[in-house]
Every structure is written in structure tokens, then in C-alpha cells.
A and B are shown apart, each in its own frame.
Chain A
Amino acid sequence: MSAMTKNLLSKTLVLATALTLVYFTLFIGDDIANNLQDIWQLISGEADKYQSIVVWQWRASRLFSAIIIGAALAISGAVFQSLVRNPLGSPDITGFNVGAFTGVLIAIALFGNIYWYSVVGAIIGGLCAAILVYLFAYRDGHSGFRLIIVGIAISATLTAFNQWLSLTVSLETAMTAALWSAGSLNGMTWLRIMPATLLIVALMGLALLLNTRMKLLEMGDDTAAALGISVNKTRLIIMLIGVSLTAVATAITGPISFISLAAPQIARRLHPQKHITLVGSALVGALLLMSADFIAQHSMQNATLPVGLVTISLGGLYLVYLIIREGK
């Protein structure tokens, strides 16, 4: 009974935090809404044009992006942690993020700082890196160890290339690229987030459909095969879904780290049976990115931090806290 109460309590708490965040993100700051009447006018569409644009075009699209991207990253993390049966498993082992950065650097160096060029550059660069890793690691099937080592080698080469490029290009180009690589929700509009949303929702649906198979794979390859799963094919499909989720998210925002690592682990601790569920991870991921972006927007007086810096720092501190607490 007390476990159930505790469960209910934690769920209520999560929900309350989420709603408070939505409220603050949308309505606080810059004298947009000073009282309940203003807020009601905004909701009913009676507010004046400028205020409506600020709230519904700028802030709401940014908030929505945080939710969608957070959920995508979290599911991607949950999928990879399940695949490699290791809480540190992440799409990073495919070299995707480093490759995406290479693509963006090249795009910015060649065409200047144009948003959609960076998106395309990130996708092409990331996919090329992932494919390279996959091909080099293939030798009569894949061993997890070989995949990780090849991933590290390719990432190291690309990192070296990125560093060389960063030193060669102008300071401005290098800084623009570095800003991208910090991961940011700045300048998110409905136009930018909508195509990604469709893809992400479709991929999440696929992930949910394959959920049962994923759980059986966790019991070991032999057990899963004995239950009638084609292990290699299933693993490849699941991995593709995981990588694609990160790919879409990274392409539009830059790499936002730690959500995919932390969200499934937090979701597990909130779950009554300590399971990692996809839906739970997605909810926690969305909440995490919303909170991080709120901090990113309001922590500095006259600048907005890239949200990736907030997630990486706070995520790191959270992990430190977990390590210390579990030691006692």
C-alpha cells in the first residue's frame, strides 16, 4: 500500500512539476502576462498581436520542441541501454554525433550559417560516420566489443578532422560550429520542429511496436532466439530506430547530451518495479529537457545558454550525486 502511495505521489509530483514549468515557460518574463486576466486573454486569443506572437509562436514552439526532442533522446537512450545491456549504452558508440559535427562544420565553412544547410550537413555527416563504423565492425556478424572499438577509432579520426578544420577556418565559423555542437533550442520555430515531429512520432511508434522483442532480447541472445526471434535482424532494426531518433533530434538542435543517458535511469527509479519503460523514459526525458531549457533561458542576464551545456553540467552533477549516494 505504501509503495502504491509513494508511486502515486511521485507521479503527481512529476505532473505538477511539468505543469508549473509549462506555465512559467509560456507566461513569465518580459511583461507579457502580468495577471490571470492577461493569461486568459492569451489562451482565448484576445490578446494583442505582439504578445500572442511571443507566447504562441516563439515560446510555445520552443517548449514543444523541448518536449519532443527530450522524448526522442530518452527513447533512443532506453533502446540502446537495452541493446547493450549496459546503463552507459548510447547512440554515441555509432560515432553519429561526431560525424554530424563534421557535416555541420563543412556546411558552415562552405555555405555560411544557414539553418537548413546545417540540418542536412548533420544528417549526412552523422549517417556516413554510423555507416562507416557499421561496415568496419562487420566481420561474420557483429561483436559488441568490435563495434565499440571501431566506434572509438572512427570517432577519434573525425574528432581530429574536426579539430583541424576548427583551427583552419575563421574564428567566426569555428565559434558558430562550436555553438551548434553545444546543442541549443535557440530559434526553434513551428516550421523547424514540425517535420522533425512527424518523423520522431513515427519512429516512437515503431519502437513501441518492437518493445516486446526488445524485452526478450534482454534475456540473452539464445533465449530470445529460442522464443522465435531472429536476433540479428531484430537487433539491427532496433538499433536503426535508436540511431534515427538521435539523428533527427541532433540534426535540428545539435547534440544535447545526457538526456539519453539519464532519462531511462531516472524513469527506472520512479517505476514501482524498477523497470525501464519506453513511455516512462520519454516522459522523464521531455520533463528533463523542459527544465534544462528553462534554466538555460533564465540563468544568465542577457544571454541564453545553449541548453546542451545545462544538460551536460546538471546531468554530470546528478550522476556524481548518484555515485556518492549509492556508495553509502
Chain B
Amino acid sequence: MINGQTQNSVTSRYQWLILCILLLALIIVASLCIGAKPISINDIYQVLFSDQTGLTSTIIFEGRLPRTLNGLFVGMALGTSGALIQAITRNPLADPGILGINLGASLAVAIAVVFLGATQFSAFFIYAALGSLVASLLIFAIGSLSAGKVDPLKLTLAGIALGAVFAGLSSALILFNPLAFDQIRFWTVGSLDIRTLSVPLYIAPIVIVGCLLALSITPALNAFGLGDALAATLGSNPIRVQIIGLITITLLCGAATAAAGPIGFVSLMMPHIARWMVGPDQRWIIPFSFILTPCLLLIADIIGRLLVVGELRVSIVTAFIGAPILIYLVRRKGASSL
């Protein structure tokens, strides 16, 4: 009986998973088709698989394909890193924003603009990547090494504390410098809109490696969720899981922030939605997070394109779509448990 039930729910999870993958594929196609100039699927096929030049080809290769791929990889990275951060800190409210990683990237970009004279968005890419890398390493070092082990609460606190310092410093840098302020205000509102394929192609291998790493430790994460003592009893090594987890988070957050700027909230919200769909099993939460997050990002991006002529940036639309969903879900009966 019990066996049958588990079997059943596993089957239905697989069905959900396939459904979500189909949904993602559909959204990817839609993201290529929809825009100021609608392009038919047929034309897209032509452009992608035969050598064609012309307006349609330009729109696809220098507009829609880069931003769609960007949305796909950034979404995968954000969803996976969010789920991982929540698992590693054992805190359902943690995300790259709370951990201060985004703020580290912002500080690096602010330094680049103010002191190094960076003006191009393409130049921000490398500084943002560096910034989030250094920020995560600092946070993880303070949050774990001081205690001699990785302490979830200390990790969260260290993120909040260092994030505050980063935020204060970057504000101090740009508040008296109108030029820098102007550039930063655009960068800090995350966007998928890039004009070159090179960005998604840079981050693609990092994101894929990160997601595979994350998947590889999901069974150990389940054990880890039960507390250090029980995890050890179950034969998993909490320290190793945490270290792999932190490395993965660093890779994924760095890639996402570099490619799209800081996009908060989705990485907090999507793991919750995944958890409400499939229950508290990391082996399912993580795959669902990395399939569903790009869906949300790409839908938000499409809506942003359609809604405003000047185009609403994706992180803004995401919040407006995501927040009502989150409120609806948390108001459901029984959602108060995690």
C-alpha cells in the first residue's frame, strides 16, 4: 500500500517534470517569435539552420537568440543556486541577495565605474563575475572558517553583515558621482537584454557544470537537512556536502549576476514553488527549480517586451508576476509549514 503510493507519486512527479520541460521548450520558441516584429516559427527555422542574412537574421542572432539563451542559463543558475542556498543554510528565506553576493557584484561594478573608468555593459561582465566570486569567498570564509565548520546560521549572518558593508560602500561611491550613479542605476536592475551571443556562451558551460554538481549532491542534501548528527549517522559527510554546495553556489551566482545583473527574488521564490509541488525532497526540488525558473524569467521577459515600447526590464516584471503567486501560495491552507 505504502509502496504503491510512493510509486504513484513518483510517476506523477515524472509526468510533472516532462510537462515542465515541454512548457520550457514552448516558452523558448515563443521568446524567439514574439517581439516588436513577430517572426514565424518557419522563418526561425530557416534562419537558424540555413545560412541567411537580412533583417530577420539580425533580429534573431543579435536580439532574441542571445536574450533567450541568456534567460535560459541565468534562470537555471538562479533557480539552482537559490535551492542550494536554502538547503545549505537550512534557511527557507535565504537567497543570493540575502547572502550579499549580489551586493558584492554591485560594489565591484561601482568600483570599476568610479575608479577604472568602465563605461560599457560588456566591461561590467567581468567585474560583476569577479565581485560575486570575491564576495562569496569572503562570506563563506567568515561564515564557516571562524567556527571551524560550516555553520548555517553564521553563514546567513555573515552574508547579511558583509552585504550591508558592500551596500554602504557602493552607495558612498556613487551618491556623489552623477555619471557613475546613472550607469549603476541601469546595471542594478537586472536585464536579459544583451546584443551578443558570446555572453550566454561564456556562462553556459559554468551553469551546466554547476547544475550537474548540484544534482550530484541532492541525496546528500536530503540527509544534511536532518541536521549534522543525523546526516553523519546516515553516512553522509556534512562538511563535504557543504563545501561542494558552496563552490556550486559561487559558480552559479557569479555566472548569473555577470550575465544579467542582480536579479533577486526569483531564486528565493522558485524553490518554494518547487517544494510545494513536489514536497521536501531535494532530488526533485533542484531539478524543478532549474526548469521552472527559466520559464518565469522568459515569460517575464516576453511580457516586458510586449507591455512597454521602451521595454520593461526582466527583474521588474519578474517581481510583479512572482509576488502575487507567492502570496497566493502562502495563503493556501497548510502552506505555513515548510
Contacts and interface: CB of A to CB of B under 8 A. Distances in A.
Instruction: Determine direct contact between A and B, CB below 8 Å.
Output: yes
Interface of A: 88, 136, 139, 143, 145-146, 148-150, 152-154, 156-157, 159-161, 163-164, 166-167, 171, 174-175, 178-179, 182, 257-258, 303, 305-306, 308-310, 312-313, 315-317, 319-320, 323-324, 326-328
Interface of B: 93, 142-143, 145-148, 151, 154, 157-158, 160-165, 167-169, 171-172, 175-176, 178, 181-182, 185-186, 188-189, 264-265, 268-269, 272, 312-313, 315-320, 322-324, 326-327, 330-331, 335-336, 338
B115 to A, nearest CB: 16
Contacts of B157: 88, 319, 323
Contact of A313 (B154, B164, B268, B338): B164
A319 B188 CA distance: 25
Given A319-B160, A323-B157, A149 B326 contact: yes
A159 B102 CA distance: 15
Contacts of A320: 142, 158, 161-162, 165
A316 B158 CA distance: 9
A145 B164 CA distance: 24
Contact of A316 (B162, B189, B312, B318): B162
B185 A166 contact: yes
Given A154-B323, A157-B320, A319 B175 contact: no
Closest 10 CB pairs of A and B: A327-B146, A316-B164, A313-B168, A160-B319, A319-B161, A316-B165, A312-B168, A153-B323, A327-B147, A160-B316
Given A157-B319, A258-B164, A323-B143, 12 more contacts: A163-B316, A164-B312, A166-B189, A167-B189, A182-B171, A309-B171, A313-B164, A316-B168, A319-B157, A320-B162, A327-B146, A327-B148
Q: Main secondary structure on chain A at its contact with chain B?
A: helix
B316 A313 contact: no
Contacts of B181: 171, 174-175, 178
18 contacts: A146-B331, A146-B335, A149-B330, A152-B93, A152-B265, A159-B264, A159-B319, A160-B315, A163-B313, A164-B316, A166-B189, A167-B186, A316-B160, A317-B161, A319-B161, A319-B164, A320-B142, A323-B157
Contact of B189 (A163, A178, A323): A163
Contacts of B182: 171
B109 to A, nearest CB: 16
A328 B189 contact: no
A315 B319 CA distance: 29
A295 to B, nearest CB: 12
A303 B142 contact: no
